[in-house]
Amino acid sequence: MKNLQLSYHNIGSLQLKLCFLSFALFPGDSIIKKRSLIYWWIGEGFVSNRGDKTAEQVGEELYDKLIKQGLIEPDDNDPSPLINRCKINPCIRYMLISLAREAGFFYFNSENETSPEVLRKCCFSSSRLHLILGGAVGLPELAKDEEPNKDIDVSTVFNVNQQYLRLQPQWLLNMKKLAVLQLGRWLHSPNYHIEVHDQSFLNDFGDHHKHLKFLSLQGISRITTLPDSIVKLVSLEILDLRACHNLEKLPEDIASLKKLTHLDVSECYLIDRMPKGIEKLSSLQVLKGFVIGTARKNPCKISDLKILTKLRRLSIYIGRGAVITSAESASLKYVASLCSLTISWGVTYSAAHSRASVEWDFPQRLEKLELIGMPEKRMPDWKNVKKLYIIGGKVMSLGPLQQINRSVEILRLKHLQELRIGNIEDMLKKFPQLIYFDGRNCADGDMLWYKSREFKKGL
């Protein structure tokens, strides 16, 4: 324990210590998603923009430092070298709980001191409330219903493991200083399900929460619409709606969220159109789940995104009945700041919907390209892509040898029954910088998976 505490005291900056102490919140052996962690840190104010780096990039640096120092561990079941999931050793977590209590960082239940329930920031006056199995647990006054109009001094509500949420609207409305509302999924588990009793707690929500920076409803069932009052969240930076499978539409006046930097509506399969005005979100850095529907239902186009000068990550879903012209697909090259792009085609989409062959053109700075269910057989030009994922679809070839991108480091080719790429020796010659390759479930039987240069050298 003394050695672990010494490692903590030598960890470096107060910023990194605060991020590390936050791991005491999570139950032991939990697999934690990196992106959920970083969004939480941004909402808390632990990380912010620094020079030319965004708050998210600063958060990734801190996350990588914790990994390199061995204070958190990669998920053993995640083969990707990107380390998008992590966990914490039980001994280190035990030490963290002790340190958090000494620092006044947490409030602990006196009956079980190893279960943090309400977080108190050591350098701020506000508190954080955690929802744990069995109900809302926190400061005694939070459970009282006899004072419904009393303001509650809480800046964060974090759903640790409550899967069925019954939230009283007035209870949340009284939290005028709320900066983080993390009700959705943070745990990496395909079987983890969250649902709400009803969505009335969102009614008039934006009228009372002028300080809210991070709202996560990720993976919550039975939320069908977002009320128009959401657009009154004038400080909102991150809106995470991923995998809200019952969500049917976004507010029409979404352009009012002037400070929004992250909007994630990926895996919201009932949304069939984007509201006009998304292109006016000038602060937007991440847009996931941009839907291309039919011309009748699609007021927002790919070409509208070129005015988003800060957009770094974009995912596009091409839905049923969509018609995309080459002019539209080629307009992606004008989103000059784009570093990561994902394009997925719905299972009902057919290339026959287009009157002519679609020519995709990507920006020069693009580093990651992911194509899911691509209906065309010919690959577009990759340019200087370092991470290439092709999952499902009709792709037959990656292109002639002279066109193969020799800068690619991570290559994932999955469920491509028509792809012919040759044996692994040819693959390694075409991709000399490759550090990760996944060629499982493809047509060529001699394709395989490997994760390191050491394994590559041993072939």
Summarised one tens digit per residue, pLDDT across range 364-385 is 899 999 999 998 888 888 778 9
pLDDT reading at 135 higher than 50: no
pTM: 0.89
User: What is the pLDDT, as a whole number, of residue 366?
Assistant: 94
User: What is the pLDDT, as a whole number, of residue 99?
Assistant: 81
The whole-number average pLDDT for the span 439-446 is 67
User: What is the pLDDT, as a whole number, of residue 357?
Assistant: 65
Buried b / exposed e along 410-429 (16+ C-beta atoms within 10 A): bbbbbebeebebeebeebee
User: What is the pLDDT, as a whole number, of residue 458?
Assistant: 45
pLDDT reading at 143 higher than 90: no
Strands 73-74 vs 85-87: parallel, antiparallel or unpaired: antiparallel
Q: Is 222 exposed, middle or buried (0-12, 13-18, 19+ CB in 10 A)?
A: middle
Among 1.10.10, 3.30.720, 3.30.1370, 1.10.260, name the CATH number for the domain at 2-93: 1.10.10
pLDDT reading at 125 higher than 60: no
**Torsions phi, psi for 50 (to 5 deg):** -140, 105
Q: What is the DSSP letter of 358?
A: -
Q: Say what percent of the chain tops pLDDT 70.
A: 80
125-141+150-271 topology per CATH: 3.80.10
Q: Who wins on pLDDT, 126 or 442?
A: 442
Please give the radius of gyration of the chain, using alpha carbons only, rounded to the nearest integer: 23
Among all chains, which residue has been given the structure tokens 């419904």? 148
pLDDT digits over 219-259, tens only?
999 999 998 889 999 999 999 999 999 999 999 899 999 99
The whole-number average pLDDT for the span 393-408 is 74
Residue 107 confidence class, pLDDT cut points 50, 70, 90? low
Q: Is 18 exposed, middle or buried (0-12, 13-18, 19+ CB in 10 A)?
A: buried
The whole-number average pLDDT for the span 43-48 is 93
User: What is the pLDDT, as a whole number, of residue 449?
Assistant: 56
Q: For the chain, which residues make up each domain, given as ranges?
A: 2-93, 125-141+150-271, 274-366
Among the residue ranges 52-66, 206-220, 229-243, 387-401, the one predicted with the least confidence is 387-401
Tell me which range, 32-36, 197-201, 399-403, is most confidently predicted by mean pLDDT: 32-36
User: What is the pLDDT, as a whole number, of residue 444?
Assistant: 63
Q: Who wins on pLDDT, 13 or 458?
A: 13
User: What is the pLDDT, as a whole number, of residue 372?
Assistant: 95
